[in-house]
A and B are shown apart, each in its own frame.
Chain A
Amino acid sequence: MQINFAGREIGLKLVYYGPALSGKTSNLRSLHQLTSERSRGRLMTLETKDDRTLFFDMLPLTLRAEGEERASGGPPGMTLRIKIFTVPGQVLHSSTRRLVLQGADGVAFIADSQISETEHNAASFLDLRNNLKELGLAIKGLPLVIQFNKRDLDHVRSDAEIDALASRGREPVFKASAVRGDGVIETFFGLLHLAWTQLDREHQLAKMLGIRQEALLPMAARQLGLSKDVSVLLSSCVGGRLERRPQVSS
């Protein structure tokens, strides 16, 4: 998170984490396709010859948030610069994952729904926890959503199974098929909601910039050219606590 009050700019860093080939880059590609040209930048991919992510992919989204008049005077509103990164999933790139994870304001964990990938999901999640720890962060205080991707494939965990798992967990869970573009926007908005709620609480953005917390998401949806209502987007989440994240002690 980078706040530049003078320049009225906020930089938000969101990271898509997960095991190799779980569809992190596919999420970004879909997000790139589904959002309006006006607000999105070029999708930057740094990959090897065989299309595997080498360092990261990065999709910049730039939103103009018109704020309300502030008591302190001065112009309301600001530019919200969101950068969405993916990490390289392959096990050997652990140090790169740590570098990309550094300074993240939120993480979307992209899990592979295939039953055969269950262990890889778990190993990658432990890797996430480890890397956060190395960076001096606790997973508990981090805005985190989980996406079960590849719902379109056979031999995946059933909806009922995921619902049951999600209801036991703290993290909001989204189901998706990134290659078809299903659930991608929903996951992103779930994460944006959590990240913004947390930053608003930590930095009093509503007070400082005149942007009400509940106004941000509809604004983002509008500028990204989305037809669905934000409440519809967020309601596709199963389990977890999307509204009430625990208070973070820094």
Chain B
Amino acid sequence: MSAAPPDVRLQDVILDARIRLEDLVDPQGLNELCKTFVALFGIPVRIYSIDGSLLVDSASENELCAYVNASADGRSACAAVVGGAKSREPGEAGDISHPCFTGAVYRIIALDYDGRRVGRLIIGPFVPSNVSGVPASLLAIHSSIDKARAQDLLDKMPRAKSQTVTRIAGHLKSALDLLLFSGHKAFVTSQMHLASVRESYRELEEKNARLQEAFDRLKELDRLKSSFLATVSHELRTPLTSIIGYSEMLSEGLAGDLKAEQLEFVRTIHEKGGQLLSLIVGLLDLGKLESGTMRMKLQIIGVGSVLREVVSTLTPAARKRGVKLSLDVAPGVADVRADSERLRQVFLNLVENAIKFTPADGEVALSARMAPPTDGASQTEDEGIALLAPTREQVEVHVADTGIGIPVRERIKVFDAFYQVDSSSTREYGGTGLGLSIVKRLVEGHGGTIRIQDNEPRGTVFVVTLPRPEPTMAEATRVA
């Protein structure tokens, strides 16, 4: 995939921008700069942009001009001179003089930047040092011009040598050039900043799109895997049911009496078939939980009764292993909204596991109580605790054993499907590694959480929390 080309306009900015005087220089600042020149040298300065608009006018009408402008002829002659000065191009050399009939002169000087003309500087009117008397051209303007008065006013006009004006102009030009360069540099930098940000953004967007694509693909693969798992499990269960059924019938003597050894073999087939079936059912459950198609029949039930049922079911197994199994339901434990069959599955699994991993003479203790929010180490500082605390109270069930324990770093992983802390334990303790992943999903399907704590002095505590139902919520069957 070829990338879209970066912003094209940047090229114009850094390569061939038409620099405009008025864009790069602050007019007010330029005005102030020119005023300091006028104050220093006493000669008026005007600056025009390349399109002829006046940017700076530091000139004020001098007395001779005012005198001439008193008559209509004078006014029109003056306007012609000033108009001429404004519109005259300074030519290739970039520096020309434009005379006035008063004997004064305007200097028109080109302003160049980056090899291009950007504007004009008009210095004047001033009287060149070689002009002394009142020129005939001034007297010819109108009969009312008085020679002595004109001479008087002409003497008051700023007077300068041509070289001096050249030097002044050079100085002003280099000051302006520096201003333009600084402005240009700042402009380019800001444009470059923008372009870089845009370019980086474009790059990131592209990468994000690629990541999203990969993520979607993985999600789809995961969905396919789950669906495959469900199909295969289903297909496996059908023939297995026959195997279990027929081996059961055989072991019950429905097809005639079996010898002791035959009976033992058939019972082994039946027992292993049962184990295989529970594994397949587990896989199916996991598939349903993962795909969100597990239907749960939620109703208000007491946790205590579920736990008592679990204990009575597993007491024989515990006794067989020499493990003490106890139950303690604190008074005031609220009912929960749950699917009783699924909840029983959760605790059967946890207690069965606990018994399995607890050595003889150990103990598995089941307890239930009401508890404040679990993760609240700083409960009293929680925002809005006064409002939220009552609804956050929950039912907490502990399944504590005195078994081998689970290292801290393994505690998240044990809930992954097919995971066992030590793969060698599969052989020692049996099991598919599916149980806890199903338990976790079932608990979460009830809006609860499950976590693992240490049991003192040894062993593990599985803590299941289940939310207390909202009092107003109606009974409902929902998809978890």
Contacts and interface: CB of A to CB of B under 8 A. Distances in A.
Interface string A32-75: 00000000011010100000000110101010000000000000
Nearest to B203: A95
Contacts of B192: 46, 55-56, 96, 99
Nearest to B180: A42
A55 B13 CA distance: 14
A165 interface: no
Interface in B180-201: 181, 184-185, 188-189, 192-193, 195-196, 199-200
B2 interface: yes
Contacts of B15: 2, 11, 13, 83, 103
A44 B183 CA distance: 12
Interface in B2-40: 2-3, 5-6, 10-11, 14-16
B176 to A, nearest CB: 13
A136 B188 contact: no
B9 to A, nearest CB: 11
A2 B16 contact: yes
B196 A46 contact: no
Given A55-B189, A102-B11, A95 B199 contact: yes
Contacts of B16: 2, 11, 81
A221 B176 CA distance: 29
A44 B188 contact: yes
Give the top 4 A-B pairs by smallest Cβ distance, nearest first.
A62-B115, A95-B199, A55-B192, A11-B16
B63 interface: no
A202 interface: no
B114 interface: yes
Contact of A136 (B5, B11, B193): B5
Nearest to B2: A136
A114 B185 CA distance: 34
B181 A42 contact: yes
A91 to B, nearest CB: 14
Interface in B189-231: 189, 192-193, 195-196, 199-200, 203
Interface in A132-176: 133-136
A44 B196 contact: no
A106 to B, nearest CB: 14
Contacts of A136: 2, 5
A71 to B, nearest CB: 26
Nearest to A63: B115
Contacts of A46: 185, 188-189, 192
Interface of A: 2, 11, 13, 41-42, 44, 46, 55-56, 58, 60, 62, 79, 81, 83, 85, 95-96, 98-100, 102-103, 133-136
B181 A102 contact: no
A79 B115 contact: yes
Contact of A99 (B115, B184, B196): B196
Contacts of B195: 99
Nearest to B8: A102
Nearest to A80: B115
Contact of A134 (B3, B14, B114, B193): B3
Contacts, number: 65
B189 A99 contact: no
The B contact surface, by secondary structure, is helix
Nearest to B177: A42
Contacts of A85: 14
A98 B188 contact: no
Interface string B337-356: 00000000000000000000
B362 to A, nearest CB: 59
B3 to A, nearest CB: 5
Nearest to A13: B15
Contacts of A95: 6, 196, 199-200, 203
A98 B196 CA distance: 9
Given A2-B15, A44-B185, A103-B15, A98 B6 contact: yes
Contacts of B203: 95
Interface string B103-140: 00000000000110000000000000000000000000
A136 B4 CA distance: 9
A46 B192 CA distance: 10
A95 B200 CA distance: 6
B156 to A, nearest CB: 40
B13 to A, nearest CB: 10
A98 B199 CA distance: 9
Nearest to B201: A95
A99 B199 CA distance: 8
B2 A134 contact: yes
B211 to A, nearest CB: 18
A95 B189 CA distance: 15
21 contacts: A2-B15, A44-B184, A46-B185, A46-B188, A46-B192, A55-B196, A56-B14, A60-B115, A62-B115, A79-B115, A83-B15, A95-B196, A95-B200, A95-B203, A98-B199, A99-B192, A99-B195, A99-B199, A133-B2, A134-B2, A135-B6
Nearest to B10: A99
B10 A102 contact: yes
A103 B196 CA distance: 16
Contact of B14 (A58, A133, A135): A58
Contacts of A135: 5-6
A93 B350 CA distance: 56
A118 to B, nearest CB: 28
A149 to B, nearest CB: 24
